[in-house]
Amino acid sequence: MAGLFSSFFKKKEELPPFNISTLKSDMHSHLIPGIDDGAQTMEQSIAMLYKFQEFGYQKIITTPHVMSDVFANTPEIIRNGLIELKKELKNCGLTIEVEAAAEYYFDETLIPKIKNKELLTFGDNYVLIEFGFHSEPQFLNELFFELGSAGYRPVIAHFERYLFYFNKIDKARELRQKGINIQLNLNSVIGQYGPQVKRQAEKLIDSGEIDFVGSDCHCIEHLELLDKNLNHPYFRKIGQLLLKNTIL
């Protein structure tokens, strides 16, 4: 009886850490110093890139915020910041490849940028788009129409964090069927953004309704948290999906 009792309460065997290098690329981060709410100094940027290289990533596509009323970044500001970052990378002997696109907030300035083909893209003309977290924006159909007409391929940033999409996995499926890509933040599955976001992330992974995963890294602590939790079973599920990260 004692043996049966002890086996019932036996500690669950811990999985080995997920080999995150199999993702190859990270397509959502904030590493150019001083231009948004990500890295504020070059030292912070380099520390994060050291960690990415330690993980085994081959390429980082950093995506500064573009928000008209908060972070009025232009392609020139972002490209110039990337040049300085690459110079420091070389000085430090880091070999990881770094490119830049942007994370565009859907406000009144975005559609004119699309029509003028001013957007910074990554991979096969992908564009990272984000919304406000509480209410679904108006004119979404117009946004996706304009993006498609201009030859852009939209990627919705951190889909699992939008309150208006909670428990609506069918919405992710519907959008993907229309050629709109879904991106998920890695740290969502370990609870960085709270239990509701964690549950939504799990549902998206279980259903396979994601295309990209990204760190959405703003600081070294985000990567350290990820490193401590690589044995989480949902990282293995992510690894089993055919994600577009691997083709960038």
Eight-class DSSP state of 134: S
Specify whether the CB–CB gap between 123 and 247 falls below 8 A.
Answer: yes
Eight-class DSSP state of 217: B
- Looking at residue 36, what is its pLDDT? 98
- Looking at residue 15, what is its pLDDT? 75
Residue ranges of the domains in the chain?
Answer: 19-247
- Looking at residue 132, what is its pLDDT? 95
Write out residues in the chain with pLDDT < 50, as ranges.
5, 8
Alpha helices in the chain (DSSP H): 2-8, 42-55, 75-92, 110-115, 140-149, 169-177, 195-207, 220-228, 233-240
pLDDT tens digits, one per residue of 114-141: 999 999 999 999 999 999 999 999 999 9
Rounded to 5 degrees, φ, ψ at 92 are -85, -5
pLDDT tens digits, one per residue of 10-30: 555 677 899 999 999 999 999
Superfamily classification of domain 19-247: Metal-dependent hydrolases (3.20.20.140)
Helix (H, G, I), strand (E, B), or coil: what is residue 96? coil
- Looking at residue 1, what is its pLDDT? 52
- Looking at residue 69, what is its pLDDT? 86
- Looking at residue 242, what is its pLDDT? 76
Rounded to 5 degrees, φ, ψ at 144 are -70, -35
